[in-house]
Amino acid sequence: MKRIRTLTRVDTLGSEQRASPVLWGRRIYLGILVGLLLLGLNWAIGDALILRADGLVVAERSVSGAVYPGRVSRVLVQEGQRVLAGDVVVEVESVDILRDLAQVSAQNADLALREVQLRSRLAAIDALLPLAERHARESSSAIGQMDRLSNAGLISAQRRDQALGSGFEAASRLSGLRSEAALLATELPVLGRARAESGERLRQLKAVYDQGMIRAPRDGTAGPRVPAPGQVVKVGDELLQVFGDETSVIAYLPDIYLFALEPGDRVELSGGAARAQGVVEALLGVTDALPPEFQSMFRPRDRSRLVRIRLDRKNDFAVTQKLQVRGCALGWCWKSQPVTEMMSGLWHRMVARS
């Protein structure tokens, strides 16, 4: 026979106990409401009480740039490769520099040849001057004797004129040699300075060109942007970045955060699957706009104060990697701090604020 379901009596409905699933349903409902309320409060004022800062891993950076126009002929380094100061990382061919080197070299050679010629001429003049001076003295003495003999009527006027002509030529020759020697003595220092300047310019051009080799400016790691063979570069173009070994984090402290960080506070840094601890090193006296990769249309920020965080020596972060900074709430930075120290620090901060 079909079993007839027993109906609940109406007169005893008030004293009946409700089923337990109804009680658990209320609890779940209240839990969901509390969770939504906490999420709302976290979205509204969470950034004011809990440290959630964005950061970037930074390192000292040196740049190898093009100081002359040219074309990349060889690339001897890869992204992320370890390099030492002075290592050749890129080779650049420059037609302009080679042309300048040829012109300056030719100019330097011409100046050197001119200097040799002038010194040879000066040496020849120095050798001729004693003879020219003696010739001039003897011609002058002969003219004096011719004058006395001519006055006595012992020689003809024609002979006297010949002696005068010979004396004039000797004096002119001596005067010309002395003038040329003085001119050479003045010209040689000027030519020497011009040659020295040309030689210095040639040395500088060779040092700048360095046979087309671009060297690493420091010990470190090659950056992510490496030129390709055949690439044409202009003056000032960046060829390679070299990052130093010591890394730190620049964090952008939210403007709404109500509790200031202090040097020495320990914070937690996370980026992807990597985790590490850092120590607040300094609160920088400058602000900067949040990088575009951190910006969100739901959390607009103009400029944030910068905080420098020293990383522990062992970490798996890469340079320029984006990080999240955590580890502080209501002014507590609890990493590696006993509870008593946290309570004492919070109390002192609240007293200082009041």
pLDDT at position 60: 87
Domain residue ranges of the chain, discontinuous segments joined by +: 50-59+244-353, 61-94+211-238, 96-210
pTM of the model: 0.62
Give pLDDT tens digits for 263-315: 888 899 988 888 888 899 998 888 888 777 676 666 666 678 899 999 876 77
Mention every residue, 6+ apart, whose C-beta is less than 8 A from residue 312. Answer: 276, 277, 278
Number of continuous H segments (helices) and E segments (strands) in the chain: 4, 14
Give the rounded percent of residues in the chain with a pLDDT score beyond 70: 82
- CATH topology for 61-94+211-238? OB fold (Dihydrolipoamide Acetyltransferase, E2P) (2.40.50)
pLDDT at position 110: 93
**Mean pLDDT of all residues in 169-194:** 88
Q: Which residues pair with 328 in a beta bridge?
A: 333
Helices 95-152 and 157-209 meet at what angle, rounded to 10?
A: 170
Mention every residue, 6+ apart, whose C-beta is less than 8 A from residue 198. Answer: 104, 107, 108, 111
Mention every residue, 6+ apart, whose C-beta is less than 8 A from residue 255. Answer: 301, 302, 304, 305
Q: Which two tokens stand for residue 71?
A: 């074309």
Cα(119)–Cα(106) distance, integer angstroms:
20
- Greater confidence (9 vs 36) lies with 36
Cα(40)–Cα(34) distance, integer angstroms:
10
Give pLDDT tens digits for 223-256: 888 899 999 999 988 999 999 888 889 998 887 8
The answer, yes or no, to whether residue 142 has pLDDT greater than 70, is yes
Cα(188)–Cα(144) distance, integer angstroms:
39
Please give the backbone phi and psi of residue 146, each rounded to the nearest 5 degrees, phi first. -65, -35
Pick the CATH number of 96-210 from 1.10.287, 1.10.3210, 1.10.3470, 1.10.10: 1.10.287
Give pLDDT tens digits for 312-340: 767 788 888 899 988 888 777 776 544 44
DSSP result, 6-59? PPPPGGGSTTSPPPHHHHHHHHHHHHHHHHHHHHHHHHHHHHHHB--EEEEEEE
The answer, yes or no, to whether residue 50 has pLDDT greater than 80, is yes
Give pLDDT tens digits for 71-128: 999 999 999 899 999 999 999 999 999 999 999 999 999 999 999 998 899 898 888 8
| CATH number, domain 50-59+244-353 | 2.40.30.170
- Closest-CA residue to 220 (of 86, 57, 315, 66): 86
